[in-house]
Amino acid sequence: MVIHQEFRDVKRPNLGIAAWAVPSIVRHGTPEQQERFLPGTFTREITWCQLFSEPGAGSDLASLSTRAVRVEGGWSLNGQKIWTSLAQWAQWAICLARTDPGAPKHEGITYFLVDMSSPGVTVRPLKEINGDEIFNEVFLDDVFVPDDLVIGQVNGGWRVARDTLSHERVALGDSWGPGSGHTDMVALIDTLGGPGALRPSALEEAGRRWASGQAISALGLRVTLSQLTGGDSGTASSVRKLLGMRHSQAVSEFCWSIAPDSPYWNRMILATRAFTIGGGTTEVQLNIIAERALGLPRDP
């Protein structure tokens, strides 16, 4: 946190998916796995993607059907993943696959590291509403993964996955992409002539967006302090993700309203539509908050 604050005015490389994969490798990986993957990740030599979601297992991730079958020296993976960001550029992936189909759905899953150059890995980009191709379909056909690329325990991958998802929600709640934060809004206002150039209603709206951005940042600090003292970010990460996504959309909509001719903000208002789905849908976050934080009855 100290390093993050000291470098707040310096533009640094965005680790992307690695920002939530690395903590899981640190917490659950072996020293050999950490030595093999962490230095290259921090120097941007290794780009990561996340092979979690499937066509039939998005929000209900534990229903995944990708299979991993024991073979000599490791595992053979077969299945399809979808909405995989950066898969066409990633060298490595974190991947969930079912290793015990007879176990309860949360207990028969294992967490793998997959070399994206392995035989049997096929990546097909998906074109989005703004014309970009960030998400992908990924097909795994008899992809071999050696035993030393299992993170945590065989059939114990759900615990590792929950750790990864927690960090993902914190990261996405902060800002999933460029141009969707309250500081970007202020930079735009400056280019338009400063606060005095805005009509009173727009200036009031900008103040609301700034205040909500500050509140979300404070919530992020609370999550981080909890983790530093050995706590679980738990429901707080879901709250931050939920609020952060709404905030990103609101900022983009506001910036587009005061700069409707900007190609950049035209693209951002389209790009942020996906924010309430990626990284766990709004409905899933609301369920987590209701059940785990408020103690309401579980969703049937």
CATH of the domain at 210: 1.20.140.10
- pLDDT surpasses 50 at 151: yes
CA distance 274 to 265: 15
Question: Residue 178: pLDDT above 50?
Answer: no
Band of pLDDT at residue 8, cut at 50, 70 and 90: confident
pLDDT at 154: 96
23 and 138 in a single domain? The answer is yes
pTM over 0.85: no
Q: What is the mean pLDDT of the chain?
A: 89
In a domain, 224, yes or no: yes
pLDDT tens sequence across 248-278: 999 999 999 999 999 999 988 888 888 888 7
For the chain, the domain total comes to 2
Positions marked active-site: 168
User: Do 25 and 140 sit in the same domain of this protein?
Assistant: yes
Q: What per-residue confidence (pLDDT) applies to 280?
A: 77
pLDDT over threshold 50, residue 27: yes
**Same domain flag for 32 and 142:** yes
Parent domain of 243:
175-293
**pLDDT at site 170:** 58
